[in-house]
Amino acid sequence: MKLGRLNHIGVATPSIADSIAHYRDVMGASDITEPFDLPEQGVKVCFVNTPTHSGMDGTQIELIEPYDESSPINGFLAKNPAGGQHHVCFEVPDIEAARAWFEGQGKRILGPTRIGAHGTPIFFVHPKDMMGQLTEIMETPKEGH
Amino acid sequence: MKLGRLNHIGVATPSIADSIAHYRDVMGASDITEPFDLPEQGVKVCFVNTPTHSGMDGTQIELIEPYDESSPINGFLAKNPAGGQHHVCFEVPDIEAARAWFEGQGKRILGPTRIGAHGTPIFFVHPKDMMGQLTEIMETPKEGH
């Protein structure tokens, strides 16, 4: 296992619209994607693109709002009604090799490998096994992100 | 205000040594700085450098451990004993202009502008005014980070 790119940090919010306004009007973000639904994961999602020295390919802020009452982020928002940092996501070249690695380390993986917000396979590792950080592992998109 | 680079995410930990072992041995990080004390801020600090497509200049993971019993992160660790995501930090070109901007937006700034872990001026904005995210604003280092 070799540490991959920090693709995004996931930020839960009770309102994607309010969070978009916050990042646009207060933080000055100029590149925010249109929100879309990920019903299988129980969330609505959009991305705030952040600048690097060479472009807008920095670590993204993934804004996530509950899709319905069964959303897995409802518990987080019950504890953090204003929203807040929910997870971190690192890229790997091969999702199956990464899954085998974390399983071999005795880390609890939350559910099956599935398709994530970038259209590539992902899985989540339990925060209690990851120094308190809910950690998403995603396969690097073949072209950009 | 124009959104700057996501310099780092701050991750609180009860043990920097354990977090370094986690990032090195489980996550595969190869570039972790030596921990150092920031007694004025009440924390011990080190950085996990993350890769980008062009080098190791990605958003850093800032590991922070309490320096003493008066550390401002003791409250966070009391609620999150395993540690977890504590703050996000965005760069700005001019710290005084940024401070005036956030003050003008009615955002509560936590304490005076001071020198942060990268040796440049920083301040923190209250999470309740920032959609639940404790937000550090730091002046971009003149050379690298």
pLDDT at B110 over 60: yes
Q: Does A7 touch chain B (CB under 8 A)?
A: no
Across the interface, of A22, A28, A52, the residue whose CB is closest to B131 is A22
**CA A92 to CA A3: how far, in whole Å?**
8
Q: Does B1 touch chain A (CB under 8 A)?
A: yes
Residue A145, in any domain of the structure:
no
Q: Is B57 in Cβ contact with A53 (below 8 Å)?
A: yes
pLDDT band for position B145 (50/70/90)?
A: very low
- Tell me, what CATH number does A114's domain have? 3.10.180.10
Residue B1, in any domain of the structure:
no
The sheet with strand B121-125 has its strands ordered as: B36-38, B43-48, B60-66, B6-12, B84-92, B135-139, B121-125, B109-115
Q: pLDDT digit string (tens) for B29-75?
A: 999 999 999 998 999 999 999 999 889 999 999 999 999 999 999 99
Residue A26, in any domain of the structure:
yes
pLDDT at B6 over 60: yes
Q: Does B29 touch chain A (CB under 8 A)?
A: yes
pLDDT band for position B119 (50/70/90)?
A: very high
Residue B95, in any domain of the structure:
yes
Residue B60, in any domain of the structure:
yes
**CA A31 to CA A21: how far, in whole Å?**
12
How much is the mean pLDDT over chain B? 96
- B134 touches B123 (CB < 8 A): no
For A118-135, what is the mean pLDDT?
97
Q: Is B58 in Cβ contact with A57 (below 8 Å)?
A: no
Give the largest Cα separation in chain A, rounded.
45
Residue A144, in any domain of the structure:
no
Chain B residue closest in CA terms to A129: B82
Distances (CA, A) of B135 to A73, A119, B126: 21, 29, 7
pLDDT value, residue B144: 52
| Domain housing B65 | 6-139
pLDDT band for position A144 (50/70/90)?
A: low
From chain A, pick out residues whose CB is under 8 angstroms from the CB of B127: 82, 84
pLDDT at A24 over 90: yes
pLDDT band for position A145 (50/70/90)?
A: very low
Burial class (CB in 10 A: 0-12, 13-18, 19+), A12: buried
Q: How many domains does chain A have?
A: 1
Residue A68, in any domain of the structure:
yes
From chain B, pick out residues whose CB is under 8 angstroms from the CB of A53: 5, 57
ipTM of the complex: 0.96
Residue B44, in any domain of the structure:
yes
pLDDT value, residue B142: 86
How much is the mean pLDDT over chain A? 96
From chain A, pick out residues whose CB is under 8 angstroms from the CB of B133: 11, 83-85
> pLDDT: is B14 or B143 the higher one?
B14
Give the largest Cα separation in chain B, rounded.
45
pLDDT value, residue A53: 86
Chain B residue closest in CA terms to A145: B53
